[in-house]
Amino acid sequence: MANGLKYLIALATAFALMLAIRTLVVSIHSINGNGLAPLYADGDQLLINRCSYGLRIGGAGVLPYGRLMRKPVQRGDIVLFTVPSSAPGGFPAGLPAGLYIARCAAIPGDTLRTNHGLLCVPGLINCAKDDYYWLEAVNNKNPVDSRHLGFIPECCIIGRVVGVLYNRHNLRLQ
């Protein structure tokens, strides 16, 4: 019986450790759609570094939002984010709520302007608000980026995409 309990404790500890790493450090996200094609295609499994901008703290109104060992999002980073509840016009119709990816095109302090859907940095609209970012997908018709949602607050950014773990057309590790 003591031997069985020892194995049960080891298994429970391994499961708890795996769950903590999955929640706090790294996660896998599946691409739905072609917003960042040809870089990432529909069906790709992406590896997300959830600590790339610091360890997220805060949850469900219990604790205020913050990050330990905070690092800023860099221009050009491809990030995983949630749609902010304050997006102009609310959440885009027909899309399920969830996690989305886009490239960071402007960081706090940048100015930008759009010209028929094309982003020009520097430009006219000030992105100087602290902790707000302009995120864009490669596909101009993608409704889940800053062209349709406005500036994305840093608290909605989950982490940075570090590579493709799996592609449904051909298996590849990076």
Q: How far apart are CA 84 and CA 81, in angstroms?
A: 9
What are residue 149's DSSP bridge partners?
none
Question: What tens digit of pLDDT does each residue of 46-92 get?
Answer: 888 888 888 777 655 666 777 777 888 898 899 988 877 665 555 55
- Return the pLDDT at 160: 92
- Return the pLDDT at 172: 47
Contact 174/164 with Cβ under 8 angstroms?
A: yes
> What's the chain's average pLDDT?
75
Give the pLDDT band (50/70/90) at residue 140: low
- Return the pLDDT at 50: 86
Contact 100/123 with Cβ under 8 angstroms?
A: no
- Return the pLDDT at 119: 62
Q: Which domains are delineated in the chain?
A: 2-166 (2.10.109.10)
Question: What tens digit of pLDDT does each residue of 87-128 get?
Answer: 555 555 555 667 788 889 888 877 777 666 556 665 555 665
Residue 121 parent element (H or E): strand 118-126
Of 145, 66, 50, 46, the closest CA to residue 104 belongs to 145
- Alpha-carbon torsion (131, 134, 138, 140), positive or negative: positive
